[in-house]
A and B are shown apart, each in its own frame.
Chain A
Amino acid sequence: MELKVRLFALYRERAGGNIVSVTVPDGATVGDLTDEIRRQIPNLAPPEVKIVVAVNTDYADSDIILQPGDDVCLIPPVSGG
Chain B
Amino acid sequence: MIELTEKTLDPEKITAKVRRDTNGAVVTFLGTTRDNFEGKTVLTLEYEAFDEMALKKLEEVRQELMAEFGLEQIAISHRIGTVGIGEISLVIAVGSPHRKEAFDACHAAVDRIKEVVPIWKKEVYQDGSRWVACEDHEFSPADQHSSESHTH
Contacts and interface: CB of A to CB of B under 8 A. Distances in A.
Interface string B115-152: 11111111000000001111011111110010000000
A57 B138 CA distance: 20
- Report whether over half of chain A's contact residues are helix, strand or loop; otherwise say mixed: loop
B138 to A, nearest CB: 6
Interface residues of A, number: 25
A22 interface: no
Contacts, number: 97
Interface residues of B, number: 35
20 contacts: A8-B118, A9-B131, A10-B134, A13-B131, A45-B136, A49-B138, A49-B139, A50-B138, A52-B142, A54-B50, A59-B116, A61-B142, A75-B50, A77-B136, A77-B139, A78-B118, A78-B141, A79-B119, A80-B54, A81-B114
Interface of B: 31, 47-50, 52-54, 56, 78, 89-90, 110, 113-122, 131-134, 136-142, 145
